[in-house]
Structure 1
Amino acid sequence: MSERRVYLDHAATAPVLPEVIDVVAAAMATLGNPSSLHASGRLTRKLVEESRESVAANLGARPSEVVFTSGGTEADNLAVKGIFWARRAADPRRVRILASAVEHHAVMDPVHWLAAEQGAKVEWLPVDHAGRLDTEALRHTLRQDPESVALITVMWANNEVGTLQPVGEVVGIARQHGIPVHSDAVQAIGQVPVRFGESGLDAMTVSGHKAGGPVGVGALLARRELDLVPLTHGGGQEREVRSGTLDAPAAAGLAAALRAAVADVPGHAAELARLRDRLVDGIRREVPDAIRNGDPAHLLPGHAHFSFPGCEGDSLLLLLDAAGIDCSTGSACTAGVPEPSHVLLAMGSDPALARGSLRFTLGRTSTPDDVDALVRAIGPVVERARAAGVVNVSTSSTSSTRGN
């Protein structure tokens, strides 16, 4: 692509940082299996353990609590399934899983699978109109039968609308009943302070490529006291819960990315918030009836999520793409059929309105020029998307009449 692209999809993946590329390239030139006992193996093991120590230091954890994985999805699966299996094995009564209704599919789908295949009883905790967990509902649910709950999983920050969840309050409620809590913190790293030890969480998921690291690496931070049943079996690496030859270059890349991500969270967040506010103000000026989603009082600084009445999200996305602007829709697509976002539906959004939503996310490479380019384009794009919707409705109506 020769034209300059405006990248407003950092929540999907962030540009790899130059220092990360240098670290990974150097590590890839180093020969050795970290499980080997010879000098080359020990050298590679040293790189892995130094990376583990760095990840732990930058996330407020102990090195022994860091379990390297292939990414956020594997870490979420290991947490949800591993905790559920361990807790049920220790006490067959513990079959309930409590999860927020706005979880990422990396949590939601394993929970669904445990219900369908493993006998789990799932309760989806409601959120308010801004996407924030209803903690009173959590308290009420727990009071019914706390001895039957295996775990609670609530994401740190929502990947679609950016709403921050009351993780500390959830942990406080769960602790009264001795129930472990897992949180997917993938979107929060680098935008808000995240300290695993101080959070009181039992398990927490992070991902490399959301923070300027390589794709294909992440970590599950898990307290040493937490029992986990492994997903895979083999050499017994990573506390015997994640077997497989350790990817030393990826671990080094994750460590480098996290060092950069947490170096100045307040300063970075303030800059993102300024850009986001500029974006929000511009969209509201150009499209006055656009509806902003998320909790403005508890929100990631780089997220701006809007619903555009009378539009289809896919039409908006493709029109912006043609204008050189990258963003994402607020809906998932299954078998080619657009479906409303489960996050927006849980927030009480009308399904038709939910289908006309876009997510704009900013990151370290975002500039005022990027924001201004979107603001210039959004008005004409919405007009064209609405016109296309009217034509499609008219055509569909005519076809339906002819069919009768």
Structure 2
Amino acid sequence: MATTQTPAPPRRIYMDHAATARPLPEVVAAMLPYLAEEYGSPQSFHRQGSGPAHALKRAREQVGGLIGAPASQITFTSGGIEANNLAVKGAALAYERRGKHIVTTEVEHYSVHHSVKFLEKLGFETTLVKVDGYGRVDPQAVVDALRDDTILVSVQLANQEVGTLQPVAEVARLVKAHNKQIIVHTDATYAVGQIPVDVATLGVDLLSLTAHRFYGPKGAGALYAGKGVRLTPLIHGGVQENGKRAGTENVPAIVGLGVAAERAAAEMEARVEKVRGLRDRLERGLLERIENVQVNGHPSERLPGYLDLSIEGIEGEGTLVRLDLDGIAVASGSACASMALKGSPVLHAIGVDEVLAQGSILITLGIDNTDADIDDALEEIPKVVATLRAMSPIYGKRKHYFR
């Protein structure tokens, strides 16, 4: 009797590095001793505590080295979202006697937007500055939004969805020229480890980062706070992190963050060159093979691995599922809310047509991607788009919206 062989599953290709990235082997290796032998609390004064305490000190130096900051100005958190919460809420509450007005942009991460919404319940007021068609803010528009009672400005360094880089250094310079007492924060969780970042060059008071987007572990992040910047703690009950964040530190994850930061600093130029080269090749190839598609985000001032595409005649979630079945992991620019598909707030902010926004996919490449991955993606993605368009009852029957 003949037997039927089950087809081998497709080779998996990971192109969703904006969501998270695989930890480097040396990161994992560095973490393991602190899950077993070096298990003591860094606050303990005995021998079992001295090893973890030294590890935290070393990791603080490594993270500071990545962003050009003194180790003493690094506060460890559970990740980027907590770092943003501590920055926005902590600074606002610390300086509320000066005023209760905050300026930020309409394309910030939810952890910033939801933090200011929380503060609005406490009597704070927020001004959201609009961005242009690339998702980039005009520094002068930020200054124009300032008031006498403005205490905090928060502008991301790189957008989480389209990868556009913001002119944060110019924003900080103009804000400080207007009023040097205003605290300037940048959410750099998508930028640190991907491009060179230096807090002195940026001129910011606060900067958030997270480990898992530059090949470190999940559960570890940090907030840089410049000299003299006050923060009201959000977590109480301990003296850890110089009183800014209570709770025994996650030593294994922080050690991993430190090693990932050190590797990123050492390899930055090579990483940027490799990832940008792969992204540019993929972008050119897809634009040649797929008609009626637009690239979202700034053409040059963009994170090297980012490629956000709006493709007419498809739906992003369906495309994601079909590509996943073919072994390619990407993200979708659309989201499901209230039982109805709604376009991305970022794409809405940059003026992408609502229907076209539903057909958005986000491809984010990393250092572990290869030319073979690009070859396979250039073969599979156009085939999936063609298949889905053939099933669409509306493709070709509506006005095209392309820049």
Fold-level match, TM-score > 0.5?
yes
Aligned ranges 1:254-333 → 2 under 5 Å: 254-333=257-336
Q: Deviations over 1:242-295 (max 9, x none)?
A: 000011111110000111112122221111111111100111111121101110
Q: Is the 8 A contact 1:48 1:252 kept in 2?
A: yes
List alignment gaps of at least 5 residues for structure 1: 395-404
Matches of 1:98 and 1:318 in 2, distance apart? 38
Give the AA of the match of 1:220.
Answer: L
2:197 to 175, 194, 197: 194
1:8 pairs with one of 5, 15, 27: 15
Aligned residue in 1 for 2:115: 110
- Checking the alignment, whether the CA contact within 8 Å between 1:286 and 1:378 is kept in structure 2 is no
Aligned residues: 387
Query: Bigger CA drift: 38-47 or 124-133?
Result: 38-47
Q: C-alpha distance in 1, partners of 2:249/2:203?
A: 28
**8 Å Cα contact 1:314/1:329 also seen in 2:** yes
Partner amino acid, structure 2, of 1:47: A
| TM alignment of 1:44-63, pairs within 5 A | 44-63=52-71
TM-score scaled by length of structure 2: 0.92
CA distance, structure 1, for counterparts of residue 211 and residue 114 of structure 2: 21
**Alignment of 1:353 onto 2:353:** no
Does structure 2 conserve the Cα–Cα contact (< 8 Å) formed by 1:316 and 1:382?
Answer: yes
Give matches, 1:1-400, under 5 Å: 2-29=9-36, 30-88=38-96, 90-91=97-98, 94-115=99-120, 117-142=121-146, 145=147, 147-176=148-177, 177-178=179-180, 179-390=182-393
Tell me, what secondary structure is at the counterpart of 2:392? Answer: helix
C-alpha RMSD over aligned residues: 1.8
Q: Which runs of 4+ in 1 moved over 6 A?
A: none
- Structure 2 CA distance for aligned equivalents of residues 338 and 108 of structure 1: 21
- Which residue does the alignment assign to 2:4? none
Shift of 1:370: 0.9
Q: Distance in 1 between matches of 2:391 and 2:110?
A: 31
Partner Cα separation in structure 1 for residue 105 and residue 143 of structure 2: 13
1:336, distance to aligned residue in structure 2 (A): 4.7
- Give the superposition deviation at 1:391: 7.9
**Contact between 1:189 and 1:262, CA under 8 Å: does it hold in 2?**
no
Contact 2:187 2:208 in 1 (8 A): yes
TM-score (norm 1): 0.92
1:46-68 superposed Cα distances (whole Å, 9 cap, x missing partner): 11111111211222101111000
Distance in structure 1 (CA, Å) of the matches to 2:234 and 2:389: 47
- Whole-Å separation in 2 of the counterparts to 1:110 and 1:332: 21
Q: What is the distance in 2 between the residues matched to 1:337 and 1:222?
A: 41
Whether the 8 Å contact between 1:64 and 1:224 is mirrored in structure 2 is no
Q: Secondary structure at the match of 2:266?
A: coil
Structure 1 counterpart SS, 2:393:
helix
Higher alpha-carbon deviation: 56-65 or 11-20:
56-65
Please list the CA deviations of residues 70-123 of structure 1 after superposition, one character each: whole Å capped at 9, or x if unmatched: 0000000000000111110x32xx1111111111112121122222x2122111
| Alpha-carbon distance in structure 2 between the residues aligned to 1:288 and 1:265 | 35
Please report how far the alpha carbon of residue 222 of structure 1 lies from its aligned counterpart in structure 2 after TM superposition: 0.7
Sequence identity percentage: 39
Does the aligned pair in 2 maintain the 1:151–1:180 contact within 8 Å? Answer: yes
SS at match of 2:348: helix
> In the alignment, which residue of structure 1 is the partner of 2:400?
none
Q: Which has the higher helix share?
A: 1
**Partner amino acid, structure 2, of 1:301:** P
Aligned-pair CA distance for 1:335: 4.7
Q: Tell me if the contact between 1:68 and 1:219 (Cα under 8 Å) persists in the aligned partners.
A: yes
**How far did residue 186 of structure 1 move?**
1.2
SS at match of 2:309: strand
Amino acid at match of 1:160: E
For residues 118-156 of structure 1, the C-alpha deviation after alignment (integer angstroms, 9 at most, x for no partner) is 1221111111101101222212212xx2x2112011111
Unaligned runs of 5+ in 2: 1-7, 398-403
